[in-house]
Structure 1
Amino acid sequence: MTEITQVDATGHACPMPLLMAKRALNGLQSGQRVRVLATDSGSVRDFRVFAEQTGHRLLESAEQDGVFTYLIEKA
């Protein structure tokens, strides 16, 4: 089972959730994963574009009760 780093960016407006995720990814090795929790609806587009531009894999993108969850695997 792969250990997943958790980043709680709830309550932060863009671009903070993305910046917090980038900071976490910088500390990981290729293939490791980070899960980000955010409440900013703008983060949906931000994380999709971020994954496309950086080559990281956006494995999950979900929303439940106003909380957006992203699972990203480092390239």
Structure 2
Amino acid sequence: MSDFKQELDARGLNCPLPILRTKKAINGLASGEILKVIATDPGSVKDMEAFCKQTGNEMISSSESGGDYTFMIKKA
């Protein structure tokens, strides 16, 4: 899926920076737009899931490849 509005590169950042950057980026999107986040912190998997639950945004997909975690988050 490459149908995203914005891409956030959070590689090399540790908790809580990926979430803080995601929050800021998603606030700049319109409802229904998709943010692609790439992170290297293994903790970001649980963090992103919790973030989506708390904010009502939708986790469309979450994958891992070569140490990069990619999340597609749809703004509520």
**1:71 corresponding residue in structure 2:** 72
**5+ long unaligned stretches in structure 1:** none
Distance (whole Å) between structure 2 residues aligned to residue 64 and residue 42 of structure 1: 15
**5+ long unaligned stretches in structure 2:** none
Identity of aligned residues (%): 44
Tell me how large the CA RMSD over aligned residues is: 1.3
Whether the 8 Å CA contact 1:2–1:32 is kept in 2: the answer is no
- TM-score relative to the length of structure 1: 0.94
- 1:23 aligned partner, one-letter code: K
Distance (whole Å) between structure 1 residues aligned to residue 75 and residue 62 of structure 2: 15
- TM-score relative to the length of structure 2: 0.93
Whether the 8 Å CA contact 2:58–2:75 is kept in 1: the answer is yes
Query: 4+ residue stretches of structure 1 with deviation over 2 A?
Result: 1-4
1:60 is the counterpart of 2:66 = no
Alignment of 1:1-75 (within 5 A): 2-75=3-76
- Classify the secondary structure of the residue corresponding to 2:12: coil
